[in-house]
């Protein structure tokens, strides 16, 4: 069994004296693990940094086996912003969330393309890379079957003045319909429905919104809870 694909390194964990078990998000084969011989050595250490984009080749005797990876570096993504702790925290967060939430070996091409867009935003000096990340989490919920319905008010059916989201249904709620229950509703940042980004408070509201549904639908059954990398990223932006 053998295939080649583009992959984003999510993690690399030492295995034995010199190998590493590498988890990647690939475009056509989903989240896929494999053994990289020499992965703990100096030659591959830089290649296997989380967030790097690689050309990967996987081979195994049977499809259900762990198999082995060989890879070539396409883009050393984190090297482009080593000076920016917030961007590095965002990249670590995205890798951890993808690794923890995605089922193994199930392809999500659109989610992979969204991750590439996030890498472009982080590398390119965009002022709105954090908003790209929030949108990527919205897309993650959508492809896993827990999409948010932000097109119209759940009560009135109208699409004007949407500022809340129901924490139970994930549907948008207008200002007037949600006023009596505002303390129990989640804030809907305008940039998720086509408006301008209102600043850091909008980004944090977006992260609280997606975080609520990630924890409810994807991490609720796990004793560890949400990935620590995500909690560190949110805390860093909130300072």
CB burial of 139-164 (b: ≥16 within 10 Å; e: otherwise) equals: bbbeebeeebebebbbeeeeeeebbb
Domain harbouring 205, CATH code: 1.20.1440.120
Tens digits of residue pLDDT in 11-35? 999 998 889 999 999 999 999 999 9
Q: CA 195 to CA 67: how far, in whole Å?
A: 46
Same domain as 123, residue 66: no
Which of the listed residues 12, 43, 76 is the one where a domain comes to its end? 76
- Give the per-residue pLDDT at 62: 84
**pLDDT-based confidence at 84, cuts 50/70/90?**
very high
- Give the per-residue pLDDT at 222: 66
Which of the listed residues 15, 50, 76 is the one where a domain comes to its end? 76
Tell me, yes or no, whether 160 lies in a domain.
no
Tens digits of residue pLDDT in 30-61? 999 999 998 888 888 889 999 999 999 999 98
Same domain as 117, residue 53: no
The predicted model gives 172-177 an average pLDDT of 96
Same domain as 131, residue 207: yes
Tell me, yes or no, whether 27 lies in a domain.
yes
Check residues 157 and 41 and name the one with the higher pLDDT.
157
| Overall number of domains in the chain | 2
Same domain as 115, residue 193: yes
**Has residue 157 got a pLDDT over 90?**
yes
Same domain as 127, residue 192: yes
Same domain as 100, residue 72: no
- Give the per-residue pLDDT at 226: 87
Same domain as 128, residue 18: no
Tell me, yes or no, whether 183 lies in a domain.
no
Which of the listed residues 20, 53, 76 is the one where a domain comes to its end? 76
Tell me, yes or no, whether 133 lies in a domain.
yes
CA atoms within 13 A on the CB side of 163: 10
Same domain as 99, residue 213: yes
Same domain as 16, residue 101: no
Q: Which residues constitute the domain of residue 9?
A: 2-76
Same domain as 117, residue 36: no
Please indicate, yes or no, whether the overall pTM of this predicted structure exceeds 0.75: yes
Q: Please, which contacts does 192-197 make with residues 24 or more away whose CB atoms are closer than 8 Å?
A: 192/134, 192/135, 192/138, 192/150, 193/150, 193/162, 197/128, 197/131
């Amino acid at each position: 069994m053998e295939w080649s694909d583009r992959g984003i390194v999510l993690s690399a964990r030492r295995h034995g004296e010199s190998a590493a078990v590498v988890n990647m998000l690939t475009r056509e084969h989903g989240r896929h693990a494999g053994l990289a011989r020499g992965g703990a050595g100096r030659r591959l250490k830089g290649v296997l940094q989380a967030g790097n984009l690689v050309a990967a080749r996987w081979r195994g005797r049977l499809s259900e086996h762990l198999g082995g990876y060989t890879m070539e570096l396409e883009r050393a993504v984190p090297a482009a912003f080593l000076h920016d702790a917030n961007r590095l925290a965002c990249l670590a967060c995205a890798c951890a969330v993808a690794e923890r939430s995605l089922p193994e070996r199930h392809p999500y091409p659109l989610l992979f393309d969204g991750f590439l867009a996030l890498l472009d935003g982080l590398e390119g000096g965009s002022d709105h890379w954090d908003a790209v990340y929030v949108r990527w989490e919205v897309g993650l919920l959508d492809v896993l079957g827990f999409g948010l319905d932000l097109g119209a008010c759940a009560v009135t059916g109208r699409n004007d003045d949407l500022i809340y989201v129901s924490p139970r249904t994930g549907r948008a709620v207008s200002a007037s319909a949600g006023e009596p229950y505002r303390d129990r509703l989640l804030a809907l940042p305008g940039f998720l429905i086509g408006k301008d980004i209102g600043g850091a408070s909008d980004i944090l509201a977006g992260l609280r919104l997606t975080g609520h549904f990630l924890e409810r639908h994807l991490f609720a059954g796990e004793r560890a809870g949400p990935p620590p990398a995500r909690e560190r990223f949110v805390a860093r932006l909130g300072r």
